[in-house]
Amino acid sequence: MNLSLAPLKDSLTAFMHRFHVLIFVLVALGGLIAAILILNSIVASSSSSSDGYTATQNSAAFDQVTIKRIEDLKTRDQTSDQLDLSKGRSNPFVE
């Protein structure tokens, strides 16, 4: 029995020449899917707080000055002042 590598090489070369684009696309998509699944498992495992860590400061407290400033804010419809451009400023959106 005489086995030669030349016919095997020729058939492999013909196969790769015919299907090289399809093989590349499948390998690229497979790698992308694998990367997404690995990243998804990393995110899922990091979001579960199994290590017992609890934040030391849970409440957000504002001082009264900040609360008063927020309450004093007005919407665009509540203000009657027009933009005053008389103090040396120019509007860059006007031709």
Domain limits, the chain: 14-46
Whole-angstrom Cα distance, residue 75 to residue 69? 13
Whole-angstrom Cα distance, residue 65 to residue 60? 15
Whole-angstrom Cα distance, residue 84 to residue 90? 10
Tell me, what's the pLDDT at 93?
80
Contact assessment for residue 85 and residue 91, using Cβ atoms and an 8 Å cutoff? yes
Residue whose tokens read 């093989």: 23
Phi, psi of 52 (to 5 degrees): 85, 10
Tens digits of residue pLDDT in 34-76:
999 999 999 888 766 556 666 666 566 678 888 888 888 877 6
Tell me, what's the pLDDT at 35?
97
Question: Of the candidates 19, 26, 14, 27, which has an alpha carbon nearest to the alpha carbon of residue 6?
Answer: 14
pLDDT cut 90: percent of the chain above it: 35
Which of the residue ranges 5-9, 16-20, 50-54, 79-83 has the most confident prediction, judged by mean pLDDT? Answer: 16-20
